[in-house]
Amino acid sequence: MSSWQGSQSGSERVWSPRPSVSPDVTQDAVIVVPGIMGSELRDAKTGNLLWGLDVGVLERAWRRGDGLQGLHVTEEELEGRTGRVSATRLLTRPAWAPFLRGIEPYSDLLGTITEAAAAPEAVLAFPYDWRLPVEHNGALLAAAARKHLLQWCLQVEASANLRALCEDRPPRLVFVAHSMGGLLTRAALAREPDLIPDTRAVISLGTPFLGAAQAVVILNGDRAKPLPALPPRRMQALAATLPGVHDLLPSYRCLDEGLEIARLSPEIVEAIGGSKELAARALEFQERIRTTAPGLPGHRAVIGIAQPTVQSLRIDNGIVHAQYEAFRAHGDGMLRRDADGVPIRQDRTGDGTVYRDAASTSTPNSTTYLPVQHGALAKNSTALRYVHAVLTEHDEHLGAPMGSGDLGLILPEEGVMAEQPWMLRVTGRPSPAGVTCRVEDVATGRSIARPRLSGRDGELAAQIILSDIGLYRVRLDAGGSAPVTQLVLALAPEDLG
């Protein structure tokens, strides 16, 4: 590459060569591991789509009696005879599920990683059957990771340009994992320790390493409400059969018993609507991983904060009551108590699904906090820039800036009723000054409403009416590093009664 450089007067121009600028890319092999419900699933025999839906099919999944039947795990699958369902690709369209709220597609994350890779072949998207146990899928990921690294190394060896990138060291693995994908990555490295020296970094986005209290709420099916809506009931019936959901049960002490805080047991899980057998397997696996698995190499945890998040639970007569507060402990594990001996409580927030301390690791200086909802962590622009920076880093990287915003967003978990008013709530700001809100139709990308926020009971709130059944994205912006977004499904009146 060359250029013309002129004199200050502009009367003469002198040609001089200028070296070309090399692209800022990584020589490593990258694997993208999505979260629960983040992979498209099909019937292996018929090819029929079971999950990974366009908006029209998504609505029917939560409205029709048999809309989710194909996703229920069978007795044969529980016994290890899998293969009935095939994971074909990562989600390419937004999806929605009660309790888990919106599930954004992984297109932006894959685009960012491909841009940072030396060639598209260096990037592997790893879809998996998220219904099945983390341990099962972790074994598949370990095999896929070894194969991917080998194939990429062979391609690098065959190309002079690619070999030039690897003068200092050969390619290694980088895992970029969202939510449950981080649990799979940990399980894969525990199963195949030989992968650890071949792994440069693991980037987890909202991974519940200590589980999520929200999983207990899912298994209870929102029984706390007098008339639970149809989508939560359908989700509970599905979740009760899924080892994958039971693998998300909190392993930390989360059960509020007044003066004591207890851990979940398989019997408690069965009493609230889950499977005793699946819970026993999940809790045993969690304990084994926690005590025997090595630390994640080069781990960077991106953790959502400032969103109202279930952190603990109270159970009365089989009904789960979500609590937005956590309990503190001393270094020896003993509960911290006030002068009257009552356990100290704090609202630690989280990403709306995973509370912040459950997503943390033992290396806090490798943690980046962003005020982002769980489902949007793999789409948020600041998180994507951070992933790109880690992929292309040469020296020790200190992490992305802390999110400047502190906005939290609360939408109805069970969905909303079309043509009827409902309330959107915003936490973290006492005044609407500088805060904007927009509602988009996911199917068209069109902005359909700009709700006016006003103060209400120490928070901000806005009343919204969605005229049509469909999937919508609520976008909240306060001029910070990135907006807070969440998906909400509008249903017909008969589905919410």
pTM for the structure as a whole: 0.88
What is the tens place of the pLDDT at every residue in 4-44?
Answer: 444 444 445 555 566 777 788 999 999 999 999 999 999 99
What six digits make up the tokens of 318? 């089989």
Q: Is the pLDDT confidence value at 451 over 90?
A: yes
**b (16+ CB within 10 A) / e for 39-61:** bbbbeeeeeeebbbbebeebbeb
Q: Do 351 and 416 lie in a common domain?
A: no
Residues 360 and 414 in one domain: no
Tell me what the mean pLDDT of segment 451-468 comes to. 89
Name residues whose C-beta falls within 8 Å of residue 384's C-beta, 6 or more positions apart in sequence: 108, 109, 112
Structural domain includes residue 9:
no
pLDDT tens, residue by residue, 267-302: 999 999 999 999 999 999 999 998 888 889 999 999
**Is 19 part of a structural domain of the chain?**
no
Which pLDDT tens digit goes with each residue over 156-189? Answer: 999 999 998 888 889 999 999 999 999 999 999 9
Residue 478 is predicted with a pLDDT of 80
- Assigned domain for 2 exists: no
CB 88 within 8 A of CB 42: yes
Task: Give the model's confidence band at 1: pLDDT under 50 very low, under 70 low, under 90 confident, else very high.
Answer: very low
Considering 403, 426, 446, which residue would you say is the last residue of a domain? 403
Query: Looking at the structure, do residues 399 and 422 belong to the same domain, yes or no?
Result: no
Assess whether pLDDT exceeds 50 at residue 467: yes
**Of the candidates 387, 403, 419, which is a domain's last residue?**
403
Over range 419-423, report the average pLDDT.
93
Confidence of residue 402 (pLDDT cuts 50, 70, 90): very low
Identity of residue 403: G
Q: What is the mean pLDDT of the chain?
A: 89
d(CA 92, CA 85): 18
Work out the pLDDT band at 407, boundaries 50, 70, 90: confident
Question: pLDDT at residue 497 above 90?
Answer: no
**End-to-end C-alpha distance for the chain, whole angstroms:** 67
What does R_g of the chain's alpha carbons equal in angstroms? Answer: 24
Domain-located, residue 21: no
Q: Where are the beta strands (DSSP E) in 71-162?
A: 85-90, 95-97, 101-103, 123-125
- Please say if the pLDDT value at position 205 is more than 50: yes
Based on the fold, state whether residues 137 and 210 are members of the same structural domain.
yes
Residue 7 sits at φ, ψ, to 5 deg, of -75, 170
Examine the fold and report which residue of 403, 423, 452 is the final residue of a domain before the chain moves on.
403
Q: At 309, phi and psi to the nearest 5?
A: -140, 135
Tell me, what's the pLDDT at 365?
A: 64
Residues with Cβ within 8 Å of residue 53, at least 6 apart in sequence: 61, 93, 95
Calpha distance 426→423 (Å, rounded): 10
487 and 395 part of one domain: no
When pLDDT is cut at 50, 70 and 90, the band that residue 446 belongs to is: very high
pLDDT for the residue numbered 2: 41
Task: Report the half-sphere exposure of 182 (CA within 13 A, side-chain side).
Answer: 28
Read off the pLDDT of residues 329-360 as tens digits, 9 standing for 90 and up. Answer: 888 889 999 999 999 999 999 999 999 999 98
* Residues 213 and 330 occupy one common structural domain: yes
431 in the same domain as 399? no
| CATH number, domain containing residue 463 | 2.60.40.10
231-263 tens-digit pLDDT: 888 999 999 999 999 999 999 999 999 999 999
Quote the CA–CA distance of 158 and 355 in Å, as a whole number.
Answer: 46
* Res. 69: pLDDT tops 60: yes
Our count of domains for the chain comes to 2
Q: Is the pLDDT of residue 71 over 80?
A: yes
Domain assignment of residue 476, yes or no:
yes
Residues 6+ apart with CB under 8 A from 476: 407, 409, 426, 435, 436, 437, 483, 484, 485
- Tell me the mean pLDDT in the region 188-213: 96
In a domain, 466, yes or no: yes
In this predicted structure, the answer to whether residue 73 has a pLDDT above a threshold of 80 is yes
Any domain includes 17: no
435 and 324 in a common domain = no
Q: Answer whether 175's CB lies under 8 Å from 126's CB.
A: no
Residue 438 has pLDDT above 50, yes or no: yes
385 and 439 assigned to the same domain = no
Is 10 part of a structural domain of the chain? no
Residue 357 DSSP code: G
310 pLDDT tier (thresholds 50, 70, 90) = very high
Q: Say yes or no: 366 and 446 in one domain.
A: no
pLDDT of amino acid 119: 96
Same domain, 65 and 153: yes
382 and 491 fall within a common domain: no
Range of the domain at 423: 408-495
pLDDT tens-digit readout, 79-104:
999 999 999 999 999 999 888 878 89
